């Protein structure tokens, strides 16, 4: 499962960092770094994180299916 954070919207509330520190991390006070590829067993937690983001900046989804794999 893939995630992307719209860092244009991100305001550094860091809710994601508190809820899933294995996926989201701050670089300094408010620069967000995250793991773009999330193991399936963390999916439910990451969906909760996406819902908890005050500015709804986290998008969770599958990679595009291109037919050939």
Angstrom distance (rounded) from CA 12 to CA 42: 22
The one among 28, 40, 41, 44 contacting other proteins by CB under 8 A: 28
Nearer to other proteins, 52 or 64 (CB): 64
Residues 6+ apart with CB under 8 A from 62: 1, 2
Among all chains, which residue has been given the structure tokens 């508190």?
Answer: 18
Among all chains, which residue has been given the structure tokens 């500015």?
Answer: 55
Provide the minimum distance between the beta carbon of 29 and other proteins in the complex, in angstroms, as a whole number.
5
Nearer to other proteins, 8 or 19 (CB): 8
Provide the minimum distance between the beta carbon of 55 and other proteins in the complex, in angstroms, as a whole number.
9
């Amino acid at each position: 499962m893939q995630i992307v954070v719209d860092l244009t919207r991100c305001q550094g509330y860091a809710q994601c960092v508190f809820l899933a520190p294995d996926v989201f991390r701050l670089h300094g006070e408010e620069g967000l770094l995250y793991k773009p590829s999330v193991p399936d067993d963390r999916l439910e937690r990451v969906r909760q994180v996406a819902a908890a983001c005050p500015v709804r900046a986290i998008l969770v989804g599958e990679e595009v299916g291109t037919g050939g794999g």
